[in-house]
Chain A
């Protein structure tokens, strides 16, 4: 006695929800709740620890209700050099993003529209460079940058981030440009625009949402990086992730400040992520899913 969905719908219309339906719904909601708790509890714990005084951070069972305290933030910014680490992070992330945006959108357009022999091979080769393991890049770059006396400078870091941001940008922009209908651009060309004018005035504005999403993701990759930063920076040129980790070793473990740094690290990226959330899947799967 199988009842089809349609029949069941009719039944529902007559009798309201059945008990099993109700139970299934409750069960599924509970499971979803567990998922959300699992994902968000550490976030909550990080934020709450940042606003706790040190003593109440370590008391177990955990104190759920506490008076928010800003001393961690105050101490952190009073630490010598901390604000300059923030500045370093911003400089490095913004510069590598800028390079990726400029070179990436130019090359992406060229590879999407140009009559270049083997352009798809070039595109595939470019994206494959992004798949190289980070340690694999760290090793030769460390020695080569050492030769040019770049180790310990922010320039080294910007170049290092370009190794993964530029291929990403080219590949993603190529995809976005391929989606724009050709007709508009062709009309502009017929009207006497040069190819560069067409690119700047027609194609780029049309691909703008994609460009913004790509830029945000590039910023995120650079901002969050620790591996390159830990070997290419020292002392004054540290970026935020490195500073965050150093808080652990130099003064014992100042967890309150670590968590506070954590908030400063996560907040901007989370904001960017929410802004571009429609393009998130596409960006993070390198365009495979839209």
Chain B
């Protein structure tokens, strides 16, 4: 008996020693890890299995009828529905339109701000203000200022003879443009400060060298500044792409995808399927297709980071 006891004790001591071997840092990471697994991994797995189900959800909670496994039905429906293709085209138009303008205007504004000597800090800070507007507010402000009868921007446009007989958010031709414009207004400042930070970190010597060689301002910009800014621009591009795909509140506030699906991006389609039609299964399928796109972008982002040199 005593031998066995000893053995047991040794086992206990061994366990304790192994416990001690686990570094304190591990215990520091653990809580966050557990929380994240519970609130993100678990829901993700749930979404995947939801995409193989027919899951009509009635607004009154926990009153669910006829949940059934339907195999690949949702996926087939998504891949064969021509509407889904159109949602993606609208999304693509929106992303490309907003991104290209934000990058171009952001670079321009950053170059200008970088040139001025006085009040640079003040003006930069002022120019950041749109970024702090809640998306809901950007949407509401857009509706207010572009309203066809009392909107101040519409008034300016009418004076110039533009958009005279149309309601900007009510017309399929202008609604998406208006939404792109809202996003450009809100997020160009972010690109601007990213580029500005990049400009400030550029080395001076190459510029001095080429100006001795007689390069003019345009040549310097095109052959020197922009190529050297490439990594910074890439970061701005990736961050903006991911955020544009993530957020959809401006659409929800202004057009809700209308008129006639002209502004229906994929995120809005998911929202409609989930919280208007309450078809959770199909919505989950659409969500996963969005997630695939984001994962690809995420991999690009992580690659970029890994390339920057791991500490």
Instruction: List residues of chain A with CB under 8 Å of any chain B CB.
Output: 2-6, 28-29, 31-32, 35-36, 38-40, 42-43, 45-46, 49, 57-58, 60-62, 99, 103-104, 106-107, 109-111, 113-116, 119-120, 122, 124, 126-129, 131-144, 146-147, 149, 151, 159, 162-163, 166-167, 170, 178, 194-196, 199, 220, 223-227, 230-231, 241-242, 244-245, 248, 255, 258-259, 262, 265-266, 269-270, 273-274, 277, 280-281, 284-286, 288-290
Q: Which 3 A-B pairs have the closest CB atoms?
A: A114-B25, A107-B32, A110-B28
Q: In the bound complex, do residue A224 and residue B135 qualify as a contact, i.e. CB atoms below 8 Å apart?
A: yes
Q: In the bound complex, do residue B274 and residue A139 qualify as a contact, i.e. CB atoms below 8 Å apart?
A: yes
Q: In the bound complex, do residue A45 and residue B185 qualify as a contact, i.e. CB atoms below 8 Å apart?
A: no
Complex: how many Å from CA A175 to CA B211? 37
Complex: how many Å from CA A66 to CA B91? 42
Residue pairs across A and B with Cβ atoms less than 8 A apart, 12 shown, are A2-B214, A3-B214, A32-B113, A35-B105, A57-B150, A103-B35, A114-B26, A129-B41, A132-B44, A270-B132, A273-B131, A277-B128
B80 contacts across to A, CB distance below 8 A:
none
Which one, A5, A36, A49, contacts B126 given CB within 8 A?
Answer: A36
Nearest residue, chain B, Cβ from A162: B39
Q: In the bound complex, do residue B152 and residue A60 qualify as a contact, i.e. CB atoms below 8 Å apart?
A: yes
Given A60-B155, A226-B134, A284-B239, A135 and B36 contact (CB-CB distance below 8 Å): no
Complex: how many Å from CA A113 to CA B24? 10
Interface string of B178-219 (1 = CB under 8 A from A): 000000010011100110011000000000100111100000
Complex: how many Å from CA A120 to CA B309? 12
Complex: how many Å from CA A230 to CA B275? 11
Q: In the bound complex, do residue A103 and residue B32 qualify as a contact, i.e. CB atoms below 8 Å apart?
A: yes
A151 contacts across to B, CB distance below 8 A:
61
Complex: how many Å from CA A107 to CA B47? 27
Q: Name 19 extra pairs, CB < 8 A, besides A144-B46, A289-B197.
A: A3-B214, A35-B105, A35-B108, A35-B109, A38-B185, A39-B185, A39-B188, A60-B150, A62-B152, A131-B297, A140-B44, A143-B46, A147-B62, A224-B135, A226-B134, A226-B252, A245-B253, A285-B239, A288-B239
Is B7's beta carbon under 8 Å from chain A? no
Complex: how many Å from CA A199 to CA B57? 47
Is B13's beta carbon under 8 Å from chain A? no
Complex: how many Å from CA A198 to CA B284? 45
Q: In the bound complex, do residue B112 and residue A28 qualify as a contact, i.e. CB atoms below 8 Å apart?
A: yes
Least Cβ–Cβ distance between A249 and chain B, in angstroms: 11
Nearest residue, chain B, Cβ from A107: B32
Which one, B112, B134, B135, B197, contacts A35 given CB within 8 A?
Answer: B112
Instruction: List residues of chain B with CB under 8 Å of any chain A CB.
Output: 23-29, 31-33, 35-36, 39-44, 46-47, 50, 57, 61-62, 105, 108-109, 112-113, 115-116, 123, 125-137, 140-141, 144-145, 150, 152, 155, 185, 188-190, 193-194, 197-198, 208, 211-214, 232, 235-236, 239, 242, 245-249, 252-253, 267, 270-271, 274-275, 280, 283-284, 287-288, 290-291, 294-295, 297-298, 301-302, 304-305, 308, 310-311
Q: In the bound complex, do residue A136 and residue B47 qualify as a contact, i.e. CB atoms below 8 Å apart?
A: yes
Which one, B33, B127, B137, contacts A39 given CB within 8 A?
Answer: B127
B141 contacts across to A, CB distance below 8 A:
42, 45-46, 262
Q: In the bound complex, do residue A166 and residue B267 qualify as a contact, i.e. CB atoms below 8 Å apart?
A: no
Nearest residue, chain B, Cβ from A196: B24
B297 contacts across to A, CB distance below 8 A:
131
Which one, A111, A195, A258, contacts B24 given CB within 8 A?
Answer: A195
Least Cβ–Cβ distance between A154 and chain B, in angstroms: 16
A5 contacts across to B, CB distance below 8 A:
208, 211-212
Complex: how many Å from CA A150 to CA B247? 24
Nearest residue, chain B, Cβ from A49: B144
Complex: how many Å from CA A22 to CA B23? 65
Q: In the bound complex, do residue A110 and residue B47 qualify as a contact, i.e. CB atoms below 8 Å apart?
A: no
Q: In the bound complex, do residue B140 and residue A258 qualify as a contact, i.e. CB atoms below 8 Å apart?
A: yes
Which one, A135, A163, A266, contacts B134 given CB within 8 A?
Answer: A266
Q: In the bound complex, do residue A167 and residue B36 qualify as a contact, i.e. CB atoms below 8 Å apart?
A: yes
Given A109-B25, A196-B24, A135 and B136 contact (CB-CB distance below 8 Å): no
Given A60-B152, A132-B40, A135-B271, A107 and B31 contact (CB-CB distance below 8 Å): yes
Q: In the bound complex, do residue A166 and residue B35 qualify as a contact, i.e. CB atoms below 8 Å apart?
A: yes
Q: In the bound complex, do residue A162 and residue B62 qualify as a contact, i.e. CB atoms below 8 Å apart?
A: no
Which one, A120, A128, A248, A273, contacts B132 given CB within 8 A?
Answer: A273
Least Cβ–Cβ distance between A83 and chain B, in angstroms: 19
Which one, A32, A195, A225, A289, contacts B235 given CB within 8 A?
Answer: A289
Nearest residue, chain A, Cβ from B182: A42
Complex: how many Å from CA A196 to CA B27? 10
B132 contacts across to A, CB distance below 8 A:
220, 224, 266, 269-270, 273
Given A49-B144, A103-B35, A280-B193, A223 and B134 contact (CB-CB distance below 8 Å): yes
Which one, B130, B140, B144, B155, contacts A43 given CB within 8 A?
Answer: B130
Which one, A3, A128, A144, contacts B302 given CB within 8 A?
Answer: A128
Which of A124, A127, A143, A146 has the most chain B CB atoms closer than 10 A to its own CB? A143
A224 contacts across to B, CB distance below 8 A:
132-136
B253 contacts across to A, CB distance below 8 A:
226, 245
Q: In the bound complex, do residue B232 and residue A289 qualify as a contact, i.e. CB atoms below 8 Å apart?
A: yes
Q: In the bound complex, do residue A280 and residue B235 qualify as a contact, i.e. CB atoms below 8 Å apart?
A: no
Least Cβ–Cβ distance between B158 and chain A, in angstroms: 9
Q: In the bound complex, do residue B211 and residue A4 qualify as a contact, i.e. CB atoms below 8 Å apart?
A: yes
Least Cβ–Cβ distance between B280 and chain A, in angstroms: 6
B274 contacts across to A, CB distance below 8 A:
135, 138-139, 142
Least Cβ–Cβ distance between A207 and chain B, in angstroms: 14
